[in-house]
Structure 1
Amino acid sequence: MSLPNLFASRISGMKASEIRELLKLLDQPDIISFAGGIPDPALFPVDAFQAAMAKALGGGNHALSLQYSASEGYLPLRQWIVGEMAKLGVPCEAGNILITSGSQQALDYLGKLFLSPGDTALVGWPTYLGALGAFNAYEPRYDRLQPGGNRSVQDYAAAAAPGRVKFAYLSVDFANPTGVTLSQTEREQVLDLAEGLDCAVIEDAAYQSLRYDGASIPPILALEVARKGDINACRTIYCGSFSKTLSPGLRIGWVCAAKSVVNQMVLLKQAGDLHTATLNQMAIAEVANGDFDEHLEKLRGLYRSRRDRMLAALETHMPAGVEWTKPEGGMFVWVTLPKGMDGAKLLEQALKTEKVAFVPGGAFFADGSGANTLRLNFSSPSQQAIDEGIARLGRVLTAALVPG
């Protein structure tokens, strides 16, 4: 018997996440890791969650918190999100919100909703590895999304033939992995392209709340609502998450979109896992309705200082020929090495000689290119670890660049 011979063709496109494998290194105390895109656990609002869980389980509330629930999600949480979306320039109703088991589930459902084998997804070059992992199961083709580039609507459509472009996926604020933010002009250009192609826009807003410098820019969904006057006339699908602000372990994300999209996603949710854990939703709602803005300011202050520390360390320790981004927020710095260098091979050497980890950049490219790039995370390590880890990485790079 050989059950793998019975696997569906989509399985061939599913690969282990390099990031998830690298996270195993966090258990080794001698490794300084810049690999995981994870929050600092010291900043989790533990006391608030303990009180929220106790409230959700006490006073007879267990009949709700431990029971099956609506697939759309816990109504008080959806109503809180409605208020937050309004602050971003997106007036909507609870019917425009679906609670998901993290924004990763939303990406999986959106791939399932839109992609047939051979359809095209427009993505960044590089883009979020988890999005590629979610979409790969539905056997798409990928094309490079270039806001403001010299490619026309006709060029994109011709490259997608005989299939068609179904959506453009992008993170517009402090993107994973690059840390780059799209300007308002570039966001408008994405909307124009989507209108020309008659495709959806998937806006991944996982890091939108973590801005440290500069003026906020309206989300693509807000720009489209301003154009059309009604979220239910919009093609943009906004994916939010509490994983970077409150807790990744509770797995609470959301989708904000036209009701025609949300209603179809509810059917996928019913077929997938019925509903997101009610107890977790109730706890998130309770904490979010507390001192959420104060909590965000605390996060921003600490992460800003770590970003600044990493950028200063890179200036001090990186050899000539190495370049990096200077993000206004988020959790990542993107490093470009001299041509001919291989981030994966560099990681092997860095772990062996200096006990420092990062994510090789090639995993973030749909075509496997980008070998001479890597991603560094600054939200998790301490300032002291950043200083030491970047110094170690600098030694590895300097040695790798020595001829012979």
Structure 2
Amino acid sequence: MRVLLTSWGSRGDVEPLVGLAVALRELGAEARVCAPPDEDFAALLDRAGVPLVPLGPSVRSVVSGAKPPTGKDGFRLAPELVAARFDTFTEAAQGCDALLTTGLMPAGARDVAEKLGIPYVYACFQIYGLPSRHFRPGQRPGTPSPQDETDLTVLWEQDAQRVNALYGEPLNSHRAAIGLAPVDNVRDYVFTDQPWLAADATLCPSQGMTNLDVVQTGAWILPDNRPLPDDLVAFLDAGTPPVYVGFGSMASHAPKDIARVATEAVRARGGRVLLARGWAGLASIDDADDCFVVGEVNQQALFRRVAAVVHHGGAGTTTTAAMAGAPQVVIPRIADQPYWAGRVVELGIGAAHLDPEPTVESLSEALATALDPDTRTRATAVAGTIRTDGAAVAAKRLLDVISRDRAPMSG
């Protein structure tokens, strides 16, 4: 069997697909991944031995400007991604038995699968964007809902309208070009009635939270067996466990002056600091030996050796820290990150710093919660509940979907 896996988004949108691709390979299936052509992602797929088919512009080129992308940028990007998906998937999905997609509103994926007559699966890494009777939709480019509107049904209808405004015209234009009828509701067509949720049930419970029939597989974790660099190990061995500070693929979205603020806040607590360079380019503020800067490393191993993890609240980082039993301080910036910050607090495994621009004093206060021994005890307990077989569960389910689709009709 051959499967096409697709995503356009940050590393947190791409790495789980690599984990799923590896799990599919272990079951004897061939998987290829369509993902943005960023060097980081290419290296990730190469390390796992998974073929990469470049999709659209690099994410870094979109998010690494002096300021975060605007609504106008969103309206320019949407038709570009739709066109890229039709062009790329039409060729890449040839000979494939299924197409699974995730990431930034993947309009164009189901359409190619429909044209080719193969099963389509939409997967997400949190419930944040799925229509719900319990929470409001997040922000999208386009006309915002009125401030005084509280009816969730109305708000989610307006969310669907915003998706149509972004993707409807380019999507239906490409559908017409390949002989498909237009789609009235792009969001619901992309999501399907039964989306898959690639998130751990402890960290992201889904029961009754969305209007859709969600299939929760567990998080798709790519095992990382790489040793930590020698100089990093030497730093870790030289003193007490440091506080890790990193913002992953956040570039222009990272808090202003966060390296200085975090370093001084950690020092105020008598700790050492480990800065992850990331796309924000975090760097040491001085030459003191209580601070170390790392590039791309094995977080699964590293987080088991830190006092706490300060981060933006991406699904991947939140899950990796929780698996390691590391207390967390989440400084949410965009999208689903406030949701993960809330879950960290609800589970008692850390603190949420909801002000997007922390000060030394405010971050020090959040660290007081994370570094409390009771928080470490709770984080250790939660770590024992998190399942690591989500990719294997999803891989088996996907192959079952293909087998059912191939089964001859009786009659």
TM-score (norm 1): 0.30
Higher relative contact order (CA closer than 8 Å, sequence separation 6+): 1
User: Which structure has greater helix proportion?
Assistant: 1
State the TM-score, normalizing by the size of structure 2.
Answer: 0.30
